[in-house]
Structure 1
Amino acid sequence: MEKIKLLGVSLSPFTHRVEWALKIKGVEYELIVEDPQNKSPLLLEYNPIHKKIPVLIHNGKPICESMVIVEYIDETFEGPSILPKDPYDRAIARFWAKFLDDKCLPTMGKALLGNEEEKEKAKEECGELLKILDNELKDKEFFVGDKIGFVDIAANILAFWMGIIEEASGVILVKNEKFPNYYTWRDNYINCSQVKKYLPSRDELFSHFQSKFHSASTTK
Structure 2
Amino acid sequence: MHVVPGLKVLYFGTPVVLISSRNPDGSTNLAPMSSAWWLGRSAMLGLGNSGRTTANLLRERECVLNLPSSSMVDAVDRIALTTGRPDVPEHKLAQGYRYEPDKFALAGLTEQPSELVAPPRVAQCPIQLECRVIEAYPFGPTPDCTAFQVEVLRAHVEESLVIPGTHHVDPIGWDPLIMKFCEFFGGGGNVHPSRLADGWNMPHQLARVNGTVDAVGP
TM-score by length of 1: 0.25
Between Structure 1 and Structure 2, which shows a larger proportion of helix residues? 1
Q: Using CA pairs below 8 Å that are at least 6 residues apart, which structure has the higher relative contact order?
A: 2
TM-score by length of 2: 0.25
Between Structure 1 and Structure 2, which shows a larger proportion of strand residues? 2
